[in-house]
Amino acid sequence: MAPPAGQIRPAKYLASFAIVVVALYALVFFTGNGSAKPKLGIDLQGGTIVTLTARQEDGAQPSEEALNRARDLIEVRVNGLGVSGAEVVRDGNNLTITVPGADSEGAKGLGQTARLAFRKVVGQPIPASTGMQTETSSAPSSGNAPASSTPAPPSASAGQPSSSNSPQGRPAPNLAAQPSSTPPSASTAPSTPSTAPSTPAGNSAVDPKVAKEIQEAKALRQSSDQQTLQQAALLLDCSKPDPLRGNDDLDKPLVTCDEKGEFKYILAPVNPAPGDTTVKPDDYTTYSRLSGEDISNAAANANPNGTGYVVNLEFKSEGGDKWSKFTAANVQQAVAVVLDGEVMSAPTIQSAISGGSTEISGKFTLKQAQALADTLKYGALPLSFDASEAQTISPTLGLQSLKAGLIAGGIGLALVFVYCMFYYRLLGIMTILSLVLSGVIVYGVLVLLGRWIGFTLDLAGIAGFIVAIGITADSFIVFFERLKDEVREGRSFRSAVPRAWVRSRRTILSADAVSFIAAAVLYVIAVGQVKGFAFTLGMSTVLDLVVVFLVTHPLVAMASKSKLLSNPKLSGLGGALREGASHRAASGNPAAVKEA
């Protein structure tokens, strides 16, 4: 026979709660990597937030397709770099990259993964200072680029890098004439991706002034006239932001700088200009026709023929065919790896390379080789981006924030404990125990959510838990105050519990429902860290019901059946008994204590 309304079998409910806790922590310790720590946000463990602003040359709005593809490709690169807990989120026309932890510095270079291409180097690289000190400097040639000013070039080969010196240069030919012979060149050693400032842009479009600068730069630095290109090379200042970064035309020549701002280059077009009938379909003497989309894989490895590191490159089927033809036509010439119009590396082709595999060798450190491999592997995005905001939080500051959040939560709990002990006595102890058990469940759920859906706990989330302490305690107070009302009416502790529970649980459910709805609405309409606050508040509200129904009510029911624990002085109900007796005496009806 079922017990009367409000009366329960406490042991059954407490056993159910114990099963829930055991199952929860079995998942925590025996699934995944076994870590029993929740994932922390960057404001608690340190990390980096980078906001990338999409920009287009004509000032038009970036398409949804382009933005979504850019987000997907950046996510792929983040995963490829082995960064843990990173998140790439679209916010209008911006992409926000959040990378928690000590390995977050690499996030600052992710915005550079825009358009990758291979351009043939024309003539010798020019020291960046050339043309900045004199207005009479001539075009770059073997006479104005001394060997001492140019580092030993890296090389591209099928596996055996050449140890010979780079060939001497000669004056660059007119690119507009499509020369059949290819001028030799030297190159610079690569380094990590550049973090030089880029062109300022608006939230979603290029400023008209910037658009004008781009067009003026194209007219000078992407001219089909060789003398104009030579003059542009002398006038180019590598220390200033480049308006052509990510906006260069692949079917035109380009005058640009290397990533470190040490050398200037004159580069051939990637593809023939549309409608140019003077170019043969198989002419790879000048045009590489290679872009980042032709690469299938790139990896940094130890140099098998000496010290240092090399970059092993794998092309797709069509890309391998292009690379074979281009290298065969340009032995002992340099090819520049160009990212967003900036030279990342310019190795010399040592021999014709057949197939889809090649090796770029040079005086690379491991970091430099990995950076170049990442650039080659993930260098093709449909849009160009400016890193409009980059914020790095040190682990020390994050640890201080975590301590501050824990202290705030501890103070809140302590105040609730003191109040409950003073006002409710035994019932206050049950409140404290219920809050502790609620914390046990919350902690386990946080660990699993971080493991399953990547949820990270941040300061806003901790604030949500602190607010939830009050909501959880409020449920206990509603139940206990209703219990006191029943005692004031003359009922014993034992008979008051089931009646108080029946009358208070609807109020508890209603209050928690309102809190949950508010949290859900806030989560839907909010952005950023406010979502974390809303999520933890809503989750705590749901778990509050679990604790109240499976722990608090059964514990109070068990205490009411104990002769010792139901003592009015110990239970904290003595005041309610006296108030009830005084009220009945005043009304002329000093009735005995009621029983159910």
Which of 306, 408, 409 has its CA nearest to residue 359? 306
Taking residue 525's Cβ as centre, other Cβ atoms within 10 Å add up to 10
Q: Which two tokens stand for residue 591?
A: 């009735």
Residues whose CB falls within 8 Å of the CB of residue 452, separated by 6 or more in sequence, listed in order: none
In a shared domain, residues 301 and 343: yes
Same-domain status, 286 and 416: no
Please identify, among 350, 377, 404, the residue that sits at the C-terminal boundary of a domain. 377
Position 235 in a domain: yes
Query: Which of 439, 7, 371 has the alpha carbon at shortest distance from 189?
Result: 371
Which residues, including other chains, have CB under 8 Å from residue 141's CB and lie 6 or more apart?
123, 124, 169, 170, 171, 172
**Burial (CB count <10 Å: 0-12, 13-18, 19+), residue 491:** buried
Q: What tokens were used for 54?
A: 């999409």
State the chain's mean pLDDT as an integer.
75
Q: Is 212 within the bounds of a domain?
A: no
Range in 4-18, 129-143, 298-312, 573-587 the model is least confident about: 129-143
Most confident listed range (106-115, 175-184, 378-387, 539-548): 539-548
Asked if residue 256 lies in contact with residue 220, where contact means CB atoms within 8 angstroms, the answer is no
**Does residue 577 share a domain with residue 546?**
yes
> pLDDT tens for residues 338-351?
877 888 888 888 88
Asked if 479 and 501 count as a contact pair (C-beta separation under 8 A), the reply is yes
At 189-223, the pLDDT tens digits run 333 333 333 333 333 334 577 778 888 889 999 99
- Whether residues 281 and 373 fall in one domain: yes
Same domain, 362 and 430: no
What's the mean pLDDT in 415-426? 82
Domain count, the chain: 2
So what's the pLDDT on residue 441? 92
Q: Taken in order 232, 237, 240, 241, is the CA torsion positive or negative? A: positive
Q: How confident is the model at residue 165 (pLDDT cuts 50, 70, 90)?
A: very low
Q: How far apart are the first and last CA of the chain?
A: 18
Cα–Cα distance, 135 to 138 (Å, whole number): 9
pLDDT value of residue 586: 66
Is 271 inside any structural domain?
A: yes
Asked if residue 61 belongs to a domain, the reply is: no
Calculate the CA 559 to chain-centre distance: 51
- Report d(CA 316, CA 298) in Å as an integer: 11
Q: Is 315 exposed, middle or buried (0-12, 13-18, 19+ CB in 10 A)?
A: buried
Return the percent helix, strand and coil in the chain, to nearest 5: 45, 15, 35
Q: Is residue 579 part of a domain?
A: yes
CA distances from 489 to 197, 485, 580 (A): 76, 6, 6
Same domain, 128 and 157: yes
Q: Which of 351, 377, 403 is the last residue of a domain?
A: 377
Give me the torsion for CA of 542, 544, 547, 549, rounded to 10°: -80
CB 340 within 8 A of CB 245: yes
Residue 512's φ and ψ, nearest 5 degrees, are -70, -35
Average pLDDT on 81-106 reads: 67
The yes-or-no verdict on residue 73 having pLDDT over 80 is no
Confidence (pLDDT) at 18 = 94
> 284, 317, 309, 294: which is closest to 376 by C-alpha?
294
Task: Mark whether 139 and 280 lie in a shared domain.
Answer: yes
Assess if residue 56 is contained within a domain: no
pLDDT grade, residue 474 (50/70/90)? confident
Does some domain include residue 51?
A: no
> For position 542, which CATH number holds?
1.20.1640.10
Among the residue ranges 56-65, 371-380, 579-588, the one predicted with the least confidence is 579-588
Domain membership flag for residue 463: yes
Does one domain contain both 360 and 406? no
Mean pLDDT of 334-362: 83
Domain extent at residue 291: 114-191+221-377
Q: How far apart are CA 74 and CA 88, in angstroms?
A: 7
Which of 316, 350, 377 finishes a domain?
377
pTM over 0.85, yes/no: no
Claim to verify: residue 345 and residue 464 sit in the same structural domain: no
pLDDT at 395: 65
Same domain, residue pair 558 and 532? yes
Coil vs helix vs strand at 522: helix
Is residue 226 located within the same domain as residue 313?
Answer: yes
DSSP characters for 31-91? STT---S--B-HHHH-EEEEEEEEE-TT-PPPPHHHHHHHHHHHHHHHHHTT-TT-EEEEE
Same domain, 422 and 312: no
Structure token pair of residue 216: 């003026």
The pLDDT, as a whole number, for residue 513 is 92
Provide the pLDDT confidence category of residue 255 given band limits of 50, 70 and 90.
Answer: very high
CA dist 504 and 9 (Å) reads 18
Tell me how far apart the alpha carbons of residues 54 and 245 are, in angstroms, rounded to a whole number. Answer: 13
